[in-house]
Amino acid sequence: MTLADLPLDLHGTPFQRAVWAALREIAPGRTVTYAEVAARIGRPGAARAVARACAANPVALAVPCHRVVPAAGGTGGWRWGAARKRALLVQEGAL
């Protein structure tokens, strides 16, 4: 069983739960932008709201919000620290 298969009982708004479900579909070693996540959940233009949903994510590795990066480049910030986010992305082969 992988973290992506782990059953979770996450509590959040319907929007947050949609974002978190989309994040669980991002494969290790891959990154997507906040805008791409917004488009995947049918809410194009909601990139900032996606970023807020990522920041509200209560389970960092089971819901891999570290795989979401800014469209402008770089890795961006992360609730658990930008250095830790970068280290996870390097470990997964995304950087």
65 is catalytic: yes
* Adjacent-strand bridge partners of 69: 33
Q: Which of 15, 16, 29, 38 is nearest to 66 (CA)?
A: 29
Q: Name the active-site residue from 19, 65, 68, 94.
A: 65
Range list of β-strands (E), 1-95: 32-33, 68-69
Query: Which burial class, exposed, middle or buried, applies to 91 when counting CB atoms under 10 A from its CB (0-12, 13-18, 19+)?
Result: exposed
Q: Give the CB-side neighbour count of residue 19, counting CA atoms within 13 A.
A: 31
Positions annotated as catalytic residues are 65
